[in-house]
Amino acid sequence: MSNTLFPHGFAPYLTGGLLIGMGVALLFLVTGRQGGVSTFFSTSWSWFLKTPFFRQRSLIDSRRWRLVYALGLVLGGALYLALGLPQAESHLPAWKLALGGVLIGYGARLGGGCTSGHGICGMASLSRGSF
C-alpha cells in the first residue's frame, strides 16, 4: 500500500515537508508574519481594484512583503530547475495551468484559505478555524 501512496518512497515528501515547515517557521520567527500564500491572490488584486474588499488596510499594508514572499517561491522553483533536480513532466498546455492557478487562488480566498495554509500555518498557530 505504501508503494501506491508514495511511489517514489518517503524521502522526497519528507524533505519537501521539512523545507516548507522550516521556511514558514523562519518567516514567523524573523518577521512575526504567517506565510499564507492564498492571501497573495487578494493582495495582488488590491493593486488594481478599487472595490471596498480590496481596499482593506490588511491587504494594502501587506502587499510589499507578500510580493517578495511570492517572488521567493518563484525563485526557489527556478533554483530547483537550475540545479537540474528531477522533475515531473506535465502534458497540459500552459494556459490550462495558468487558468487552474487563478481558479485555485479564487477558491482558496473564497474558502478563507487553502488547506495547506491551514495545515501548515493555521494549525501551528492553534487557529480554531484551521482545526
| Mean pLDDT value across residues 43-57 | 88
Residue 43 near residue 62, CB atoms below 8 Å = yes
Q: Specify the pLDDT at position 75.
A: 94
Return the percentage of the chain with pLDDT > 70, whole number. Answer: 99
Q: Specify the pLDDT at position 125.
A: 74
Higher per-residue confidence, 54 vs 38 = 54
Helices (H), 46-128: 57-61, 63-82, 94-110, 115-117
| Mean pLDDT value across residues 93-122 | 82
User: What's the pLDDT tens digit per position in 22-39?
Assistant: 888 888 888 888 877 777
Task: For residues 77 and 54, give the distance between their C-alpha atoms in angstroms, rounded to a whole number.
Answer: 29
Return the percentage of the chain with pLDDT > 90, whole number. Answer: 15
**pTM exceeds cut of 0.85:** no
How would you class 120 by CB atoms within 10 Å of its CB: exposed for 0-12, middle for 13-18, buried for 19 or more? Answer: buried
| Mean pLDDT value across residues 53-59 | 88
Q: Specify the pLDDT at position 96.
A: 95
Name the average pLDDT for the chain. Answer: 84
User: What's the pLDDT tens digit per position in 78-95?
Assistant: 998 999 988 888 889 999
Q: Specify the pLDDT at position 52.
A: 92
